[in-house]
Structure 1
Amino acid sequence: MTLKNVALLNPLVPHYREEFFKQLATHVDLDIYIYEGGSEYANFNVSDLQVKKIKSFGFFGNRFIFYNIIPLMAKKYDTLVLMLHFGHISSWFLLLTQIFHRKKVILWGQGISIKRYLQEQKKPNLLFRWMIGLSHGVWLYTEEEQKQWKKIFPTKSIVALNNTISGVEEVLATNYTEDERSALKEKHGIQQDICLIYCARFDNPYRRFDLLTQAIELLDAKKYGFIIVGEGTHKPNFQSYPNVYDYGKVYEKHLKDELFSMADLYYQPGWIGLSVVEAMAYGKPILTFRRSDQVLQCVEYSYIKDRQNGILLDNLDELKQTLSNMVQEDIQEMGEASKQFVKNKLLMRNMTENALSIL
């Protein structure tokens, strides 16, 4: 069987996408084109996967972007995977000229604005609707967005990738005994009975770092410890909190394994995204706040099933009450449910198979 020749466009290849692209490349003849890589990605761990760079320029704060389409027009490509981003002017051109270049165009993205999620949940964005209508098919991140767009385009090839991360199987296999966890807590100088871990970049205020520091201040410092992983321009100063253990950037798996193994729960107040996949694969229940106008959440928020693999909170008082009522058996049960969800839905081979199903 002849391999499909696919050109895939992304701003860059972060480390958590590397395995997905490698698996795709075993089934199709894949060329990855990138058009970014500047300072806005300073807190990404960027993959060293072989890519082709193309020129681009943006305006209005990069809300609109032109990129060089000439490399994508090469005769060898029969399929283009472009971003589902209505600000990509070049993508509109490629969608509108399919009758001439005769390449299959698949769009890849969320299909909904995180900042306008509650509104677009009721009334999908018109520009997304036009883009999807012009495409041959769509890769969406989660089943929730797939259901929304399938109602509008029931016959179009629209799949949910079930967005996940590289190395998720290795994370699932990580397992420490209670004795090993106790030894690690002693090694790292952590004295609190219950540990909450936060692991995400501090580059986006929508993650609600105010609710992170308020939780630290609200909870008993002798009972609750906070493990912090991440850097960024909006990072609070945690030095004054005796129960905060700040590790900054961590990309070494053995250290991350230790930090997550010591933690009992994962706490990220807002803008929950792919970090939830890693936390669930480590077997951690998720604590976060319900999506609202004040607390924005990414599409991976739909992976959290309230009172099953995590708890969705309304306010900090509920956080305090929830933790005070929680026993170790509850934490273990929700943690196992987190792992099981990842095993059932979020393995990398599943994401690859979902993508290939419409290639």
Structure 2
Amino acid sequence: MKRIALLNPIVPHYREEFYRKLSERYPLDVFVYEPDLGNRGGFSLSTFPITPLKSISFLKQRFIAYDIRPFLSSRYDTIVLMLHFGHLSTWLLLLLNVFFRKRIILWGQGISIKRYLKEIRKPSLPLRLMLGLSNGAWIYTEPEAVLWGDRFPRKPIRAINNTISGVTDILNNEISASKETLKAHFGITEPLCFIFCARFNNPFRRVDLLLEAIAKLDGNTYGFIIIGDGALKPDFSEFDNVYDFGAVYDEKTKSHLFHIADIYFQPGWIGLSVVEAMAYGKPVLTFRRSDQTLQCVEYHYIQDGVNGYIVDDMDGLLRRVRDTPEAAWAALGNASRELVAKTLRMEQMVDRAAEVIEAV
């Protein structure tokens, strides 16, 4: 049986189930090169066993070198490294592999989020060189996997459909209390509620658009549930229709808040949070990807008019919200949940990853 060594900066809680299920299929050792990143970045860490690696970074962590010796060990025939052009040690392992004959899988988004619109037309040359030296790749979502698969048709390059730990539990979650009862419990009075659930640590989330939407929508009709903390979090206290819960780690409380909500709204930098929202059966409302509004690769899961709406500007958002009846939002939410159930369960992510492991 193949024995795998896998590299990541940390093992965040949302990735733990992937590692555990993968380790049920293959002997797996996970090495991390930034074990304190959880404290610095506000991540909740998993309890999956890890082996820390010594590493050094340069130029504000754009370039990283880590100890490569564990990956050269004869105990591993397959190693999974990050598809990141700034990982100097990964370049070294790829170039040395002519001597060590490991099966190297690269794992990542396959594109720069900040340069997405450019690179989806003209892919990154450094990433192309890295993939050319590899044996295969796990790419997060389908558009980027197609991009690289067209350039390396003979390599096993698969979209593994990036998802989160516990997504099946969310799908199976049943709440006996009615929405009205829960609203009364939390003191929420508005007929239709948005929910935002993300860390306020990234300027590309476009919190300015969130604040503008709150200010321009009727405060007696629309409520906003906010989950998340961070250094860039604004002061919501001026809005009577905003219910700020800060960081919520209690899953029961979070599930109740999502149950109350009618729409998931995150203006920009929408990533894995979209999977959680869809699993709770929420339609997703966001802005179209542009040079001003960056979106992560999981934005691909949003199908405009099917499981959510993608709007071009604030006027478009206001019209969409005002013109869409509550029943239509509920239908979009049902489509969201169905998409997750069919394609974004963790078992399916592991299945797709295993296809590459078996093919290399």
How does the TM-score come out when normalised to structure 2? 0.97
Q: 2:9 aligns with which of 4, 11, 16?
A: 11
Which segments of 5 or more consecutive residues in structure 2 lack a partner in the other structure? Answer: none
Q: Following TM superposition, by how much is the alpha carbon of 1:16 offset from its aligned partner in structure 2, in angstroms?
A: 0.3
The aligned counterpart of 1:314 is 312
The aligned counterpart of 1:51 is 50
Q: Is 1:258 the equivalent of 2:256?
A: yes
C-alpha distance in 2 between matches for 1:149 and 1:72:
25
**SS of residue in 2 equivalent to 1:211:** helix
Q: Following TM superposition, by how much is the alpha carbon of 1:176 offset from its aligned partner in structure 2, in angstroms?
A: 3.9
C-alpha distance in 2 between matches for 1:186 and 1:23:
40
C-alpha distance in 1 between matches for 2:71 and 2:103:
12
Percent identical:
51
C-alpha distance in 2 between matches for 1:19 and 1:11:
17
Greater CA drift, 93-102 or 261-270: 93-102
C-alpha distance in 1 between matches for 2:18 and 2:288:
30
The aligned counterpart of 2:187 is 189
C-alpha distance in 1 between matches for 2:94 and 2:350:
24
Structure 1 residues 29-54: Cα deviation after superposition (integer angstroms, max 9, x where no partner): 10000000335743111112110000
Q: Following TM superposition, by how much is the alpha carbon of 1:144 offset from its aligned partner in structure 2, in angstroms?
A: 0.9
Which segments of 5 or more consecutive residues in structure 1 lack a partner in the other structure? Answer: none
The aligned counterpart of 1:29 is 27
C-alpha distance in 1 between matches for 2:298 and 2:326:
26
The aligned counterpart of 2:323 is 325
Counterparts in 2 of 1:1-359, with a 5 A limit?
3-38=1-36, 41-176=40-175, 180-359=178-357
C-alpha distance in 1 between matches for 2:130 and 2:312:
36
How many residue pairs get aligned? The number is 356
C-alpha distance in 2 between matches for 1:87 and 1:238:
38
8 A contact 2:35–2:52 mirrored in 1:
no
> Which amino acid counterpart does residue 76 of structure 1 have in structure 2?
R
8 A contact 2:171–2:337 mirrored in 1:
yes
CA-atom RMSD in angstroms: 1.0
> Which amino acid counterpart does residue 153 of structure 1 have in structure 2?
F
Structure 1 residues 270-299: Cα deviation after superposition (integer angstroms, max 9, x where no partner): 001000000000000000000001100000
C-alpha distance in 2 between matches for 1:252 and 1:73:
42
Q: 1:42 to 1:293 in 2, by over 3 A?
A: closer
C-alpha distance in 2 between matches for 1:81 and 1:251:
30
Structure 1 residues 87-117: Cα deviation after superposition (integer angstroms, max 9, x where no partner): 0000001001112111111000011000000
**SS of residue in 2 equivalent to 1:241:** coil
C-alpha distance in 2 between matches for 1:42 and 1:103:
33
